[in-house]
Amino acid sequence: MFDDREVRIGIEVNGEMQFYHGAACNVKITKSTDSTQNSCDLALDNLLPHTVDYLVTESSPWIPDRNPKLVTIMAGRQSTGVENIFNGDIVSAIPGGPPERSLTIKALTQNGAKYKWTSQSAPKTILLSELSKRVAEACSLRLRFEAAEKTIVNYLYNGPVTQQIKKLEQVGDVDCFIDDDELVVKDFGKGMRGEVRVISTQSGMTGIPTFDEKGVKVTLLFDPTIRLGQQIAIQSEVNKAVNGQYVIYQWEANLSTHSTDWQLTLSCNNDNLKSIAEKREAQKKKDAKSNTKP
């Protein structure tokens, strides 16, 4: 038997974070390991009228030079506590009709940084870990570096702050993505270090996992400790063809405090794809040797 679910929402109001706990809300969060911004759609009821008015006004696209208002989502169970599962900037806030004081909020990770310009240059050669550290600092993120070390030559960047992450991914030939307040840099196609989580009916899997164009999709009861980029092992008694080890490339949570939604949907690459980077590097070396032959 599961204990009560917990959702805590923090919203920046007049420069201070206001936290809402126990309010009726619906949350949809989508994260991915590509350059797409992580997104959150939040519907929250029973806010004070002046809070609704403030957020609706301050998130208007017609306000010039506005500072984005922050939103943070934490979720879990009463017995295990909550985990931070989203940080982002509010891009829109739409009020609902009376008598409910409801508000629908759309937020995107690091959205405000899209409008900040930066120039970054490095020495003729720089280690990938050091370059990753510089990019994380520019984005005000903690760094989780799990990639093989390599040397980057003649790095130069000029553009929006957050687009450095895409540039880092290209020059390092690695996976780079934001997860909450972390910049994750890991080897292309490989899972992050740590525990391989078993996904089965015993661990909360609901429905039947199915193949998709990139690997497999599986749905389970929401578990905030399962992270984007993590390795999982699916064990299905109904569809045994999907059983095996995978890496999460998309993480989608649908949560509600006053309805049945409490699910996590994972889209995953087959774990065999982690060999792509090694095969690509081996082919480069083979081609280089061929080009040097007389």
For the stretch 193-220, pLDDT in tens is 988 999 999 999 998 999 988 889 999 9
DSSP at 59: T
pLDDT at 30: 97
Cβ atoms of residues 93 and 57 within 8 Å:
no
CB-count burial class (<10 Å; 0-12, 13-18, 19+) for 85: buried
Contacts of 53 (CB under 8 A, 6+ apart): none
Cβ atoms of residues 246 and 231 within 8 Å:
yes
Cβ atoms of residues 178 and 88 within 8 Å:
no
Per-residue pLDDT of the chain (294 residues; tens, 9 = 90+): 457 889 999 999 988 999 998 888 999 999 999 878 999 999 998 888 889 999 998 888 777 656 889 999 999 988 888 999 999 999 999 998 777 778 999 999 988 887 788 888 888 999 999 999 999 999 899 999 999 999 999 999 999 888 899 999 999 999 999 998 899 999 988 889 988 999 999 999 998 999 988 889 999 999 999 999 999 999 999 999 999 899 999 999 999 988 889 999 999 988 655 444 555 566 667 767 766 655
Whether residue 98 has a cis bond before it, omega within 30° of 0: no
Query: Going by DSSP bridges, is the β-strand pair 215-221/103-108 parallel, antiparallel, or unpaired?
Result: unpaired
Mind listing the pLDDT tens digit for each residue in 78-94?
888 899 999 999 999 99
Quote the CA–CA distance of 105 and 117 in Å, as a whole number: 26
Q: Tokens 């959205």 map to which residue?
A: 111
pLDDT at 1: 47
Q: At what angle do helices 128-138 and 164-172 cross, to 10 degrees?
A: 170
Please list the residues that pair with 190 across neighbouring strands.
none
Q: Which amino acid is at 101?
A: R
Quote the CA–CA distance of 20 and 247 in Å, as a whole number: 33
